[in-house]
Structure formats: C-alpha cells, structure tokens
Chain A
Amino acid sequence: MITSNSRPNALQGTLGWLLLVVAAAVLVASLGYAFSQLAAEGHASFNTSSRLPWGQPIATYLYFALASSGLGLVASLPLVFGFKQYYPIAKRCIFLAFIVLISGMTVLAMELGHVFRMLWAIPTGLQTQSAMFWMGVFYALDLLFLLWKFSKLQGGEWDSKTSKQLGIASFIGVLLASGNLALIFGMMSMRPFWFDALMPIYFYFTGVTSGVAALVFFVYLAHGFRRDAMPSALQSLLTGALPKLFAALIGGTLLFIAVRAITGLYSNNPEVNLVWTDYLFASPLYIAALLLGLLLPFALLLSSSIRNRVDIQVLTACLVFLGLFAERFYFVVGGQVVPLFKGTWAPDLIEYAPSTTEWALTLSGVSLCFVLYLLGEKLLNLGDMPRQEPDQRQTEQPAVAT
C-alpha cells in the first residue's frame, strides 16, 4: 500500500527547535551531573544500600521499559490485529516504543556497577535460569524488531508480507520482554510483596496504560495541543476508540492495585501486610498518586460528555504518566522496605528517598526521551499512515474538533 498523509506538524517549525534546545540542555545538565557524581563518589552518590539495593533508577528503567512495551502493544492493534482506526498512531507508537526503551536502558546502564562487562558476561554466561538473562535477550530482540518494523514503515511498507511478519514478531517480543520483566519480581518468593504469578498480567495492564498516556501526550504535543490541526482519521480516533480504551486500561490497573491491596491488607504475613499498612498507605504521596494519578483520570474519562475534550485528555495523560511513575517507584521500593534478616540492626522499615544523583538519572531518562522524540518528529514523519481507500474516504465520519 502506498503511504500518504504527511503534513507538517507543530514540532517541525520553530517550536520544535526551541523544545529541542531546552530538552537537550536538560539532558546535558542532568546526565553531566549524574556522571560527575558517579565519577567522584561512585554509587555512594545513590541513597540505595545493601539493605535496599534497588532504588529509583531501577523504578525509572521499569517505567520506561513497560511504557515501551505498552506502546508496542498499542501499535499491534492496527499492525497485527487489523484495527484500522488505530493506523494514525501506529508509526508514532513504534517510534516512541523504541526511544522510550533506549531512554530506560540508558538509565539502567548508569545504575549498574559494570555496564560494559555486561556486554560479554551475559552472552558468555548463558545462565538460562536467570530471568534477568532472558530480560537481556527479550529486550534486545524487542529493540531489534521495533527498529526493523519502523524502518519498514519509514519505507512505506505497511502491508507487505515481511512487514506483517515483523509486526507479529515484534508483538511476541513485547509480550515476552515485559512478561519476563514482571517475573524478575514475581518469582522472588523471598520477597512476598512481589511474589505473584499474575505479575505479568499486572505489568501488561500498567504498561499499556502508561504507553497510552505517553502516546496521547505526544500526539497532542506534535500538533500544538490543537485537534483541528490533526488529520481527520487521527481526530476520529481521539474522539472515539482511544479515550474509551484509555479509560478501560486505567480501570483495569485500578482493579489490579485494589486486588493486590486487599490481599496484602488481609494477609497476616508482616512482609506483605506491613508494606501496605506502614509504607504505601502511610505515604501521602502514594495515596495522592492513586487518587489523582489513576482514580481521577478514570472518573474524568468515564464521563462521555468530557472525555473527548482536548484539555481533559492532555490532563489525564499527564496525571496517569505521573501516577504510574509513582506506582512503579512504590512497587520497586515496597518489595524491599521490610528488613530481611537484619534483627535489631534494622528495627524499622527501611527508609529510602532518592538522592539528587538518582533524580538526575530519572531526569536524564525523561529528557533523552524528549530529545529523541523531537528529532523523530523533525526528521521521520511520525504521523504517516497508509493511504485510505476511496470508499473509506467517502464513508469517513466528520471529525469533531473541540
């Protein structure tokens, strides 16, 4: 199928350059600060410890990796399952999935003790019993398939046999990568807060939710937060299926959190129960993230009268973006706050708040994502989609702009 449908978007002009300069400046500053701190103090510049070894950089990586998987899964709706109304976001989804994963991996690289050693030690070790080994394999494949698929779309190959096969391979890669990432936590029976056979399903739900949040935000950003500047097919999607899907995904995420909370609160096991009573529900920030980051967006999107408004959609995307970041943070830290066999050396729950270096790493991940995204919008025509057949054009519903 021949591709069409390119029109310059808001980021291809001066606004794009301006944002690019700002994002690049933030990236250089935050990454430079993190590098200098790590060079000077090593990982003592983190607030993690042998008692709580995984902190905000891991939560950030997890957030990015799952948002990437979520974007990959959304892209599979048109590219694998034939939901054609999602074509207008397919290419942008694949691109975002790629750069979000790159950003997450960059943060992870700065968290590891020896990142370059990883490049030979994991392939030569072949420790197939380790979920982390498979994380390396599946996310490398995921990255490869995303790039390959994107190159096909960039070349205008939307429906060729190879392109479809790549779409299926990418979909399977995404499922394996994020499902396996869930098992890194879910298989740890010595950390009962995480130990959960359904963890992959929870990660799929939250991953797609964060992916859709990122997608909605970036789509609006690309069009200067004006829906009337969008192609009509994209307008139809944003006033039709997408907000409903977004609402359903947030609802599913809330359901999962509720079920985990109820199970945890009911359990007598202090290693689960105390995490909910004394850490999560004792933290105003966690409660705020739940109420404002998930419940409020869900309520707003449930209402058919307001869910199609541009301001509401952008607001809910931002709130969910932040809410799920908090959810990831509290998930990662929550699994470690109960001291594990430390006696009176650790008489209370382990306290952890990220250091400035750890915040700088999170910020560098976000800013790298913005830089790559803005470059993509400038250079790669991310709004491209297959040309619609004449009969579809005639039956197309007029888009509602607000």
Chain B
Amino acid sequence: MAKWGMVIDLDKCTGCQACTTACSMENNTLPGESWQDVLYYVEGENPSGQMKWLPRPCMQCENPSCVHVCPTRATYKDEDAGGIVFVDWNRCIGCKYCMIACPYGVRFYADEKPLVEPDIREAFPGENGQLWSPPYQNPEEDYRRGIGIQPAGVVSKCTFCYHKVRHAPEGIADLDEEDPDLKEYVPACVRTCAPKARYFGDLDNPESRVNQLIGDKHGVRLKDHTGNKPQVYYLGAGAGVPAFTPADRETDA
C-alpha cells in the first residue's frame, strides 16, 4: 500500500488561497472551518521584515499525537489507506482532546459560534444530523473516515481527499493533476493549485516525484521537534513556523 505524502514548494506558492477554497467546496466545510488553509506570518522588522505564508493541510503524521490521546480510537491512522489520519464520526464523542494534542491546529469542532458572519447555517439549516445542509453536496460520504458534511458533536479534519485518492490505480507513484488519467484522483488542493506548488505521491515509492523533490530540494517538515513526523514536506525558503508574537509587539521582535 502507498504511503501518501504531500510536498509544498513555498518558492512557488503565491498564497492565493485557491487551495483553501477548493477544499471547502470539495468537502462542504463551513466558512472559516478550513481543513486546508494558508497561514500568513509577519516576521522581523524593517528593513529586513518578512511576510511568510504557509499552506497548511493536515500533516497526516507518521506518529500522530491526536491518535494517541483519543480515548475511543475514533481518530486513527489507517495504514491501509496510505497512512491517512481519519476521524470516525460514528465513534467520536466530541471530547476535543485531539484538538488539544495536535501541534498543527488542523482539527475543527465546527459546532461553535460562526467563524464568518452572517452565519450560513441560518440560510441552510442542518438536516439529518448535518451541521448545515447546503444545496450542493458532495455525494461522497463515509462517516467512518470523517468524509461528508460534518454532523454535530464530532471533530473533523482534512482527509487528503481520500474519497478521490482511494480510486487511484494501485502502485501509482504520483498523482499528478496534469495527467488526464489521474486528475480525478488528486486531492482538491493539489489539483487547483495554479502555480503548481503542490505535489502528491507515494512516500514509500523510491521512484516517486515527491521523494525526489524532498531529497533534491531539501524538504523539511514543520515543527519537527514535536516528533509527530508529518507526511507533508515543505520546499523552499521560509519553511519554518515563527514564534508567536502578539501583533502589537511585532516591531519589538
């Protein structure tokens, strides 16, 4: 079985948020509950101040702290599904411990006050247990893997668009959106990336493009000191998370 990994080239990323939009359209997430997001950081001060941005899906860690803390095994790493970390919405009790334990802040409870107002849930109130029921819905639904429209009382997260990836041909090294035969199996954020800053492939396949990029262009993992070992790698300058500084003190940094 493949071990799916993502490579994000920060030298190519323009921070356009098309990936974030594609993700929310694909997965019908509530506005602001961005399973995939682009984070902006201001670091340093003039004349050497920098603006950085980091696209951030779930890191699908090899050693995921969210999985260790889950008291019900609702969140689990599925080695048979490429090592993707899923939330079983039939088992999740909404204790939110995984959200505490995830160092990357990629988990969402969504049963919360609206992050973007006006509250779209008022226009499309939830039916059949869904938190909201928009007129267009992705027909793919798999509660065991947290795929579909999030119900109340559970935690959700990026699934590497497993509902697409799972149809990929066995043994494929890379899922390249430019290959007409493969484009339907590529995660939404990868497929939509205009500057082609994202690559998706098998980290266990020595011939894969993702492995070549990580080796040749010095791929790094974010917050590697946590020991979580993400399956998402970053290339290019700025692949690091600046320390938190309150906005009113950024000039003192």
Contact = CB atoms under 8 A, between A and B. Distances in A.
Interface of A: 42-44, 46-51, 53-54, 112-115, 117-118, 121-122, 125-127, 129-133, 135-136, 184, 188-191, 270-271, 274, 278, 335-336, 338-345, 347-349
A132 B112 contact: no
B39 A342 contact: yes
8 contacts: A42-B111, A44-B112, A49-B109, A113-B93, A270-B244, A339-B105, A341-B39, A349-B246
Interface string B95-139: 111011111110111111111000000000000000000000000
A43 B102 contact: no
A112 B73 contact: no
Contact of B94 (A112, A190, A274, A347): A112
Contact of B97 (A118, A184, A341, A349): A184
A54 B112 CA distance: 12
Contacts of A188: 100-101
Interface residues of B, number: 53
Contacts of A114: 92-94, 153-154
Given A112-B94, A117-B93, A125-B71, A50 B110 contact: yes
B218 interface: no
A341 B71 contact: no
Contacts of A133: 71
Interface of B: 33, 37, 39-42, 53-54, 56, 65, 68-74, 91-97, 99-105, 107-115, 152-154, 222-223, 226, 241, 243-248
A195 B97 CA distance: 15
B97 to A, nearest CB: 5
Nearest to B42: A344
Nearest to A338: B244
Contacts of B246: 274, 278, 347-349
Contacts of B102: 190
A179 B241 CA distance: 33
A348 B93 contact: no
In the A-B complex, the 10 residue pairs with the closest CB atoms: A113-B94, A113-B153, A343-B39, A347-B247, A121-B72, A125-B73, A132-B71, A190-B103, A53-B96, A125-B72
A271 B226 contact: no
A348 B249 CA distance: 10
A41 to B, nearest CB: 9
B69 A340 contact: no
Contacts of A118: 71-72, 93, 95
A121 B74 contact: yes
B108 A130 contact: no
Contact of B71 (A46, A113, A122): A122
A129 B68 contact: yes
Given A274-B244, A338-B244, A342-B105, A136 B91 contact: no
B103 A42 contact: no
Contacts of B115: 49-50
Contacts of A122: 71-72, 93
A51 B222 CA distance: 19
Contacts of B111: 42-44, 113
